[in-house]
Structure 1
Amino acid sequence: MNNIAGNLILIGLMGAGKTTLGKQLANKLKRIFYDSDQVICERTGVSIPTIFELEGEAGFRTRETAVISELTQQKDVVIATGGGAILQIENRLNLQQNGHVIYLHAQPEVLLNRIRHDKNRPLLQVSDPLAKLQELYSLRDPIYRATAHTVLDVNSPYSFHSLNRLIRLIRQHSKQIPQL
């Protein structure tokens, strides 16, 4: 695994495991891990819900684009993006051109079970979170698929299963994809 070069970038809906798997993958590869949402929070000194409240989603997306642009210029890192990062064409191109993009795919019902009690998800603070997740899934799934070099199903509740499958996928594709 240590011979794999290039950035590994995880995309997907909230609750897909981008941060959890990203940290595990970075640890396994002995690489630096970045979570774009966490970087934004560290730089602003406030939570994502607070940014949404003060600046709206558009303000948050502007910050996100700047952070993704910066993170993708790093070398041989693992990056977890926010679930909506792929909404901006600039981000999609940046991700595709600066690393191997892996879409962590899971069904909305699975995602809701994982994040049901997480109050740090401003888009889910609605009366019907499952309907909102289904709406986001319908909108974003085709964009995730078009952006990703690889799709990994992460419906399993056990992250170590997903990590092992992710590593196998990276090994399989590393000979086929120049960035790896």
Structure 2
Amino acid sequence: MGVGKSTIASQLGKMLHMDRLEMDQKIVEQEGMPVSEIFSRYGEQYFRDAESNLLIALQEGKGMVVSCGGGVVLRRENGMHMKKNGHVIWLTAAPETIYERVKDNKDRPILNNNMNVEFIRELMEKRKPFYEAAEDIQVTTDQKSISQICAEIVEKLSILEEQEHSGEC
């Protein structure tokens, strides 16, 4: 949430000549309504089910950059699906940075009535163990350009793949 997943996924897809899929956007298309409306009509559980179902469907595809919603790893099985099918990159930023990036966005149902740095900090702390369990690499997006972030991801992925091929992982 607010760390730059969509922007970075788009640029990374271009750099790596890979298709890109925005999970939230795909769910919006499937449901025919914005995320905030899905939450208000059907609840968070319904949305999380849609995320899980989409992840399962994506297992058929190859060579794709997938931008997941910030809460997708709250279900451990989702993290396992992602790790089984590729590398999981955890983008992170300081709560203050996230707040500045999302404060004017009204389509963030988790932040409805909670648009403040302290709530974002608490949410990040609650989610941290789930992200740590799912991630292969972590990249901080604070005070970095899109190209710097993408270059760091590509470098870390190269190191990870070298380690995997040499049996170090």
User: What range describes the TM-score normalised by the shorter chain of this pair?
Assistant: over 0.9
* Seq. identity, %: 30
How large is the Cα RMSD of the aligned pairs?
Answer: 1.3
Contact kept? 2:3, 2:141, Cα under 8 Å: yes
In the TM superposition, residue 62 of structure 1 has moved relative to its aligned partner by: 0.8
How far does residue 56 in structure 1 lie from its aligned partner after superposition? Answer: 0.5
Aligned pairs (5 A) from 1:10-29: 14-29=1-16
Q: Which residue of 2 aligns with 1:69?
A: 56
Instruction: Assess if the C-alpha contact under 8 Å between 1:71 and 1:79 holds in 2.
Output: no
Matched AA of 1:68: L
Instruction: State the Cα distance separating 1:95 from its structure 2 match.
Output: 0.8
Map of 1:172 onto structure 2: 159
Greater length-normalized contact order (CA 8 Å, ≥ 6 residues apart):
1
**TM-score (normalizing by structure 1):** 0.87
Shift of 1:72: 3.3
Where do 5+ consecutive residues of structure 2 fail to align?
A: none
Question: Which of residues 116, 140, 152 is equivalent to 1:129?
Answer: 116
Separation in 2, partners of 1:94, 1:127: 31
Contact 2:103 2:115 (C-alpha < 8 Å) held by counterparts = no
Structure 1 gap segments, 5+ residues each: 1-13
State TM-score, norm by structure 2.
0.92
Contact 1:85 1:91 in 2 (8 A): yes
**Corresponding residue for residue 146 of structure 2:** 159
How many residues align? The count is 165
CA distance in 2, matches of 1:174, 1:66: 28
